[in-house]
């Protein structure tokens, strides 16, 4: 027994920031960003906290599922940009919902949501959960160096959520990590200890774009191939691919490498940007609400990010 998806939800901050607006204070252009990355605008928090986005996405997922907060046995949040180091984002959401179940955060960077689905599958397999809420939520805008055109144009804020119940939809998964703290990361602030002798660090995202790009294309294509095989399927059996939205060219390269139909490989990066752990569940919510899903459709989700981590899974849609 694993789980089936009972409901999905997502939430974006109301403030949209276009490439043109970024060009007013960064040495960049709409042409460069849309051609090199595939983004035209992203959403950025003005008043919303990560917890507000997570809570809003959770309410929508609960509404679709018909599950009440008091019925939840588990809340998991994937995030690298929680409002607090403690309490966890999951505990903040639990309190906002009025739920009473165990709650914790998972950090596997952009791969966090799929790592978390796998964690939830373990709770279902052990009979420790009958209803679970899983959320990916990020406010990356507070971790950007807004003078760095290499990163400021790429990331956005948002949240996506799923409510899970018992079922057999989760067919196969792959989790991967290759520890590396130089290619892509977000340092914690070093604080103000009078005893600490190193140069203090700022909590800003740094990224070696080309190294990340190479890792991402390889991870996406290898993980999808392996997970499809592990589910006993062929790549042509997959109705929809829900990939992490980091760069449209990464998705296009993997599509080409695997010989996929580009129409089946979904994208919303143009409107949403890279929302890290929220990226896959936001896109999945768009798919769930699109009316395109048919009973028995196989859906592949895949992601990659800091760690370096990557993850993929296969889900069978059960109406
Ligand atoms: N606007 C205009 N020019 C920019 C720019 C921007 N926002 N960012 C970088 N450039 C410039 C560079 O300074 C460089 O200029 P130079 O040739 O004069 O030195 C030029 O564009 C090419 O830079 P490069 O880094 O080689 O570009 P790229 O084609 O690799 O694209 C990324 C850069 C970041 C878009 C790309 O590497 C990428 O998407 N990497 C993966 C990122 C990712 O997936 N991150 C998240 C993982 S979860």
SS3 letters across 90-101: HHHHHHHHCCCC
Confidence at 210, pLDDT banded by 50, 70, 90: very high
pLDDT in tens, 244-292: 999 999 999 999 999 999 999 999 999 999 999 999 999 999 999 999 9
Helices (H) and strands (E) in the chain, counts: 10, 13
Q: Is the peptide bond before 274 cis (omega within 30 degrees of 0)?
A: no
CA atoms within 13 A on the CB side of 94: 20
Residue having the nearest C-alpha atom to atom 11 of ligand 1: 150
Atom of ligand 1 nearest to the CA of 210: 37
Within 6 Å (CB) of ligand 1, which residues are found? 28, 32-33, 36-37, 110, 149-150, 153, 184, 207, 209-210, 212-213, 216, 246-247, 250, 274, 305
Q: Is 148 helix (H, G, I), strand (E, B) or coil?
A: coil
Give, as one character, the DSSP assignment of residue 155: B
Residue having the nearest C-alpha atom to atom 1 of ligand 1: 28
* Token pair belonging to 136: 């990916």
Atom of ligand 1 nearest to the CA of 150: 8
What are the backbone dihedrals phi and psi of residue 310, each rounded to the nearest 5 degrees, phi first?
Answer: -150, 165
The whole-angstrom separation of Cα 206 and Cα 296 is 41
Which candidate in 45, 77, 91, 110 is catalytic? 110
pLDDT above 90 (res 200) = no
Distance 30 CA to ligand 1 centre (A): 13
Q: Which helix (H) or strand (E) holds 8?
A: strand 2-11
Are 16 and 42 a contacting pair, CB within 8 Å? yes
pLDDT above 90 (res 319) = no
Q: How far is CA 285 from CA 152, 288, 293, 294, in A?
A: 25, 5, 11, 15
Average pLDDT over residues 117-140: 97
Are 254 and 244 a contacting pair, CB within 8 Å? no
Distance 85 CA to ligand 1 centre (A): 31
Q: Is 283 helix (H, G, I), strand (E, B) or coil?
A: helix
Distance 36 CA to ligand 1 centre (A): 7
With a pLDDT cut of 90, the percent of the chain lying above it is 95
* pLDDT at 79 (0 to 100): 98
Q: Is the peptide bond before 210 cis (omega within 30 degrees of 0)?
A: no
* pLDDT at 302 (0 to 100): 98
Residue having the nearest C-alpha atom to atom 37 of ligand 1: 209
Atom of ligand 1 nearest to the CA of 216: 44
Sheet arrangement for strand 170-180: 170-180, 307-316, 298-305, 238-243
Which candidate in 77, 244, 247, 265 is catalytic? 244
Are 21 and 30 a contacting pair, CB within 8 Å? no
Structure-token match 């800003």, residue found: 204
SS3 letters across 109-178: CECHHHHHHHHHHHHHHCCCCCCEEEEEEEEHHHHCCCCCHHHHCCECEEEEEEEEEEECCEEEEEEEEE
Average pLDDT over residues 99-105: 98
pLDDT above 80 (res 1) = no
Q: Are strands 298-305 and 238-243 parallel, antiparallel or unpaired?
A: parallel
The whole-angstrom separation of Cα 129 and Cα 183 is 37
Confidence at 202, pLDDT banded by 50, 70, 90: confident
Distance 250 CA to ligand 1 centre (A): 13
**pTM metric for this prediction:** 0.97
């Amino acid at each position: 027994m694993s789980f089936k998806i009972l409901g999905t939800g997502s939430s974006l901050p109301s403030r949209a920031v276009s490439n043109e607006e970024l060009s007013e204070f960064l040495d960049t252009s709409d042409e460069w960003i849309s051609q090199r990355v595939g983004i035209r605008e992203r959403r950025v928090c003005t008043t919303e906290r990560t917890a507000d986005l997570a809570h809003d996405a959770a309410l929508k997922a609960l509404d679709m599922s018909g599950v009440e907060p008091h019925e939840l046995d588990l809340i998991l949040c994937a995030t690298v940009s929680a409002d607090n180091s403690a309490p966890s984002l999951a505990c903040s959401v639990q309190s906002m919902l009025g739920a009473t179940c165990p709650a914790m955060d998972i950090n596997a960077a952009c791969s966090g949501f799929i790592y978390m689905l796998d964690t939830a599958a373990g709770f279902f397999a052990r009979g420790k959960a009958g209803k679970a809420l899983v959320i990916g939520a990020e406010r990356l805008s507070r971790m950007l160096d807004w003078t760095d055109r290499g990163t400021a144009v790429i990331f956005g804020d948002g949240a996506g959520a799923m409510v899970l119940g018992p079922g057999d939809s989760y067919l196969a998964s792959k989790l991967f990590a290759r520890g590396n703290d130089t290619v892509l990361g977000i340092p914690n602030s070093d604080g103000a200890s009078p005893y600490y002798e190193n140069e203090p660090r700022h909590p800003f995202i740094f990224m070696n774009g080309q190294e990340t790009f190479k890792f991402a294309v390889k991870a996406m294509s290898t993980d999808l191939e392996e997970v499809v095989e592990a589910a006993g399927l062929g790549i042509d059996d997959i109705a929809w691919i829900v990939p992490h939205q980091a760069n449209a060219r990464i998705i296009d390269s993997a599509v080409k490498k695997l010989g996929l139909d580009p129409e089946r490989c979904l994208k919303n990066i143009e409107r949403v940007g890279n929302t890290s752990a929220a990226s896959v569940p936001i896109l999945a919510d768009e798919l769930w609400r699109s009316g395109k899903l048919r009973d028995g459709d196989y859906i592949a989700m895949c992601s990659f990010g800091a760690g370096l981590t990557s993850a993929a899974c296969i889900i069978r849609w059960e109406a």
